[in-house]
Amino acid sequence: MGLNLTQKIIRAHLVSGEMITGTEIGIKIDQTLTQDATGTMAYLQFEAMGIPKVKTDLSVSYVDHNTLQSDFRNADDHVFLQTVAAKHGICFSRPGNGICHQVHLERFGKPGATLLGSDSHTPTGGGIGALAIGAGGLDVAVAMAGQPFYLTMPKVVRVELKNSLKPWVSAKDVILHLLSLLSVKGGLNRIMEYSGEGVKTLTVPERATITNMGAELGATTSIFPSDEQTRLFLHAQGREKDYVPLTADDNAIYDETIVIDLAKLEPLAACPHSPDNIKKVQDLDIKVNQVAIGSCTNSSFIDMKRVAEILKGKTVHPDVSLVISCGSKQVLAMLARDGALTDLITAGARILESACGPCIGMGQAPKSGAVSVRTFNRNFEGRSGTKDAKVYLVSPETAAATALTGKLTDPRTLGEFIPIGLPEKYLADDNMIIPPANEPEKVEVLRGPNIKPVPLGEPLPESFSLPVSIKVGDNITTDHIMPAGAKVLPLRSNIPAISEFVFAALDANFAKRAKELGRSIIVGGQNYGQGSSREHAALAPMYLGVKIVIAQSFARIHKANLINFGILPLEFANITDYELIAAGDVLQISDLKNALTSGEVLALNTNKGATIKLVASLTPRQIAIIKAGGLLAFSKAQALS
């Protein structure tokens, strides 16, 4: 039997386990990336392990989320990140250099490499043929310490692309179409591997748009082959030495196959408030107040150049605020060099710095009740910074057309298509990437007063009798659990302070109640913890005394984060038993350590007298982590043994 591309890369990096679907494997990690919203905690955790230098081939610390310096806290974190990187063998990408995924694709991504990033959109790197996986910061810290990354061997889904896209239809429409087929839960425990004749028609930046939003499927990652398009991109970046051809064997076996005819796709939009709420743009007649173009999904030079060509010589509709954030300094400099930046500015665009910005709720919140059309990857309620805003996700072409007309507009109405190809040569300048210090022993790591020690979990007791502090529904995102935005993000290195905002959008009294209860249980519906990889959505509840989360099902990264911080994730054996628990009920669980080994846990609802069967879908290693009180304690014990 031949191997698919995913299996080839995993086999080359396999440290433990076998490539059997559903079993735990450990893989060697070649590269890591962090961003500043998750990086401060990740490096505090790395420091706690007592290892002087990272053991990966390359680790990069990016500043792209918390760039709004409204007081000392973000600036202090940036200095901490720069000094800790210099001391421990990590490259530091300075504020303004760009969004981690865009810059990493341009300057560091390698076909066939494994990349672990403390951001859920790390799979962007799959556009260049890397096995790029998002994870919590603690998992990344452990990988930097040279230990394997453990995951459940996923199913590999072949996504066969046929033919080529028609004019004004883009890569964004490909992934929106796939979301319409599979939903935000459809990629769980799956890797989406793209193949077929249509692959060769897509440039690396277009492929990266598709793999980036594979995160919205809940997929472990997404990957394209490394082929002539990959070589052309690396050549244009001055990195052709990093090119290696990588494809699946002709007789490769896949767990599932999905066929997409690119020629049949149309411009699409993800409607409020979920990336899988897909409709055709031509069927939507909606007045628009704001257009935002950028984010790690659609901020490449090709994206921005096409937007500039659409806007050239025209003026943004008077009722629309257009904001644009390029993905990297490279993109911004190239637009400035060829005059496209002038076209954007004279058309009325507001140019933001090369950072995540509005995508993470860091500025440019729309007005009350606004319709905001964005080229981003998520449109969860309130994520924009305005709770009653309605956010639509579209391609750059649709966004540019909409900015001109003031209503959601099918770009096919613009007339003759404007082809934008891959540049022969990118403007490669790494002067804003600071290499680690030559004499790390002389580097002092600087810590501002907002940076607090990492809280540690408690070892697992034999039994629990705990109240339910909150009960929530389906598709609860990490934004619901731990909000982002300009008010909260500066607290990422201060867990006592940020914990005050846990579930704030759903229940303003949750943090106060959880602290009063001391220890408690959270109950959720399906796909609990979808969205961002932010480990603070597990770390802050742990600080508030949450010991168990019971849900109908979990999103992959969040479940791993719960385990990493000593919170026990349990699932209903019968999902209808969700109805047998209410907030305030007390659940009693006995003989827990033996129950985890068997995988069958019984909980007695002492308020209702009902016994509820729960499932602990944990590997022996995960059980050991839970018993130790979390991955940090477990890893330190392993290092000492």
Sequence-distant (≥ 6) Cβ neighbours of residue 576 within 8 angstroms: none
The whole-number pLDDT of residue 96 equals 96
Does 56 lie in the same domain as 164?
Answer: yes
CATH number of the CATH domain containing 359: 3.30.499.10
- Which residue is catalytic, options 534, 536, 556, 558? 534
The whole-number pLDDT of residue 128 equals 98
- Which residue is catalytic, options 30, 77, 119, 139? 119
Does 182 lie in the same domain as 316?
Answer: no
Total Cβ atoms within 10 A of residue 486? 16
Does 378 qualify as catalytic in the annotation?
yes
In a domain, 628, yes or no: yes
- The domain boundary, picked from 264, 299, 331, lies at 264
HEC letters along 35-91: EHHHHHHHHHHHHHCCCCCCCCCEEEEECCCCCCCCCHHHHHHHHHHHHHHHHHCCE
In a domain, 129, yes or no: yes
Does 291 lie in the same domain as 196?
Answer: no
pLDDT in tens, 412-448: 999 999 899 999 999 999 999 999 999 999 999 999 9
- The domain boundary, picked from 407, 423, 449, lies at 407
Does 66 lie in the same domain as 11?
Answer: yes
* Confidence band for 639, pLDDT divided at 50, 70 and 90: low
Does 484 lie in the same domain as 623?
Answer: yes
In a domain, 495, yes or no: yes
Q: Residue 101 above 80 pLDDT?
A: yes
- Residue range 569-598: average pLDDT? 94
Does 41 lie in the same domain as 162?
Answer: yes
In a domain, 443, yes or no: no
- The domain boundary, picked from 407, 427, 444, lies at 407
CATH number of the CATH domain containing 628: 3.20.19.10
One-character DSSP codes across 168-215: T--HHHHHHHHHHHH-TTTTBTEEEEEESGGGGGS-HHHHHHHHHGGG
- Which residue is catalytic, options 158, 207, 306, 378? 378
Domain count, the chain: 3
pLDDT in tens, 362-418: 889 999 999 999 999 999 999 999 999 999 999 999 999 999 999 999 999 999 998
Does 497 lie in the same domain as 386?
Answer: no
In a domain, 93, yes or no: yes
Q: Supply the mean pLDDT for the chain.
A: 95
The whole-number pLDDT of residue 411 equals 98
Does 115 lie in the same domain as 46?
Answer: yes
In a domain, 420, yes or no: no
Query: For residue 176, how far is the Cα from the chain centroid?
Result: 17
Does 347 lie in the same domain as 248?
Answer: no
Does 290 lie in the same domain as 260?
Answer: no
Does 119 qualify as catalytic in the annotation?
yes
- Residue range 34-41: average pLDDT? 92
C-alpha distances (whole Å) from 135 to each of 31, 35, 83, 392 are: 13, 12, 23, 27
- Is residue 411 within 8 A of residue 405, CB to CB? The reply is no
The whole-number pLDDT of residue 533 equals 83
- Is residue 564 within 8 A of residue 630, CB to CB? The reply is yes
- Which residue is catalytic, options 532, 533, 553, 635? 532
pLDDT in tens, 107-131: 999 999 999 999 999 999 999 999 9
* Confidence band for 22, pLDDT divided at 50, 70 and 90: very high
The parent domain of residue 314 ranges over: 285-407
Does 194 lie in the same domain as 325?
Answer: no
In a domain, 414, yes or no: no
Q: pTM for the complete prediction?
A: 0.94
Does 472 lie in the same domain as 613?
Answer: yes
Q: What percent of the chain has pLDDT over 90?
A: 90
Angle between helices 631-640 and 556-564 (to 10 degrees): 60
In a domain, 600, yes or no: yes
